[in-house]
Amino acid sequence: MSNFNIKEKNLTAEEIAVIGIPFDENSSFRRGAALAPMRIREALFSESTNMWTEKSIDLGLMSGWQFLDDLEFLNRKMAFELIESKINELLNKKIRVISIGGDHSITYPIIRAYGKWYSKLSILHLDAHPDLYDELYGNRHSHACPFARIMEENLVKRLVQVGVRTLTGHQREQAKRFGVEIIEMREIDRVNEIMFNGPVYLSLDMDCLDPAFAPGVSHHEPGGMSTREVLRIIQNLKGKLIGADLVEYNPERDPQDITGMVAGKLLKEIIGRMLEEKNNGGYRDRTPHL
Ligand code: MN
Ligand code: MN
């Protein structure tokens, strides 16, 4: 894997940084998502395919984007602080960030950083689960809770969830309370109606896909999206994509690297989509009070 090109100091404004977040301590059921960053990188560089996006951008040129070193969690208790401060540091340099790996709890500290820089931020959240629990097994930072925390703190203007198929009574109430817009999986055709004004952050939980397409996740939830449906959402998104995360890939449940290749493909198309929208500096519309 010597072709990684880690030279953070040379990152320039408007470039895209892809950073690994190997953290899965808020998973309620199975660990493993911490192993994802390395496996997604391997898939992206796999010689079984090439590095061109479907819309003909050659990511192999490593132009306009690069990988950074994975975050290193020396003090596990300070994990969220580390994530938030690292993302904030990158946004401060006008870098757009794609995070790979981790359980879904990491989206909360990421959005705490993004919310400081974008006052009119929308989130497009693809997931089998709404992740709106007030708490799960006593953990308010569980991977089942990040969007409750995000909405409580008013970090974003709009949260749109797509692919959900596990709503409980409690989570329906939470969605109503926070004004979350949900396109449930059973009404997936409505996905074409979604339109965003201004900056959009994409939070992509790999279990939005049907387990037949992506078995390497901790929570198998049948009846989900195909790989093509997710690609179509990324490619046709109406709005300005300014950041993304790719979470919940669990390599320990992925013996043939099937899901790793799907994650690599999705990452490729997300990078491509963001490269198409290079000139978006004007969207950083807020001076944070740090
Ligand atoms: Mn999730
Ligand atoms: Mn999920």
Distance from the alpha carbon of residue 27 to the mean position of ligand 1, in angstroms? 10
Query: By the 8 A CB rule, do 130 and 184 touch?
Result: no
236 in a domain, yes or no?
A: yes
Tens-place pLDDT, residues 74-116 = 988 899 999 999 999 999 999 999 999 999 999 999 999 999 9
Distance from the alpha carbon of residue 60 to the mean position of ligand 2, in angstroms? 31
> In the prediction, which pLDDT does 12 show?
82
Cite the DSSP H helix spans in 1-78: 36-44
Distance from the alpha carbon of residue 137 to the mean position of ligand 2, in angstroms? 17
Three-state DSSP at 99 gives strand
CATH code of the domain containing 210: 3.40.800.10
pLDDT score of 2 more than 60 = no
19 in a domain, yes or no?
A: yes
Work out the mean pLDDT of the chain and round it to a whole number: 93
The band of 35, judged by pLDDT with boundaries at 50, 70 and 90, is very high
* Interatomic CA distance for residues 5 and 116, integer angstroms: 29
pLDDT score of 167 more than 70 = yes
Distance from the alpha carbon of residue 288 to the mean position of ligand 2, in angstroms? 31
- Segment among 65-69, 104-108, 275-279 with least mean pLDDT: 275-279
Q: Which ligand gives the minimal distance to the CA of 148?
A: 1
* Number of domains comprising the chain: 1
96 in a domain, yes or no?
A: yes
288 in a domain, yes or no?
A: no
Q: Is the pTM of this model over 0.85?
A: yes
287 in a domain, yes or no?
A: no
Query: By the 8 A CB rule, do 102 and 33 touch?
Result: yes
Q: How many residues does the chain have?
A: 290
Q: Which ligand gives the minimal distance to the CA of 144?
A: 1
Query: What is the rounded average pLDDT of the residues 161-167?
Result: 98
Distance from the alpha carbon of residue 228 to the mean position of ligand 1, in angstroms? 20
The band of 282, judged by pLDDT with boundaries at 50, 70 and 90, is low
Distance from the alpha carbon of residue 10 to the mean position of ligand 1, in angstroms? 33
Phi, psi of 171 (to 5 degrees): -75, -30
pLDDT score of 280 more than 70 = no
Distance from the alpha carbon of residue 129 to the mean position of ligand 2, in angstroms? 5
Domain that holds residue 58: 2-279
Q: In sequence order, what are the beta bridge partners of 122?
A: 158, 200
pLDDT score of 283 more than 80 = no
Q: Which ligand gives the minimal distance to the CA of 246?
A: 1
Helix (H) or strand (E) holding 84: helix 79-92
Distance from the alpha carbon of residue 171 to the mean position of ligand 1, in angstroms? 13
Distance from the alpha carbon of residue 54 to the mean position of ligand 2, in angstroms? 26
* Interatomic CA distance for residues 37 and 44, integer angstroms: 11
Distance from the alpha carbon of residue 63 to the mean position of ligand 1, in angstroms? 31
> In the prediction, which pLDDT does 10 show?
73
31 in a domain, yes or no?
A: yes
115 in a domain, yes or no?
A: yes
284 in a domain, yes or no?
A: no
Q: Which ligand gives the minimal distance to the CA of 128?
A: 2
Query: By the 8 A CB rule, do 260 and 227 touch?
Result: no
Query: By the 8 A CB rule, do 246 and 263 touch?
Result: yes
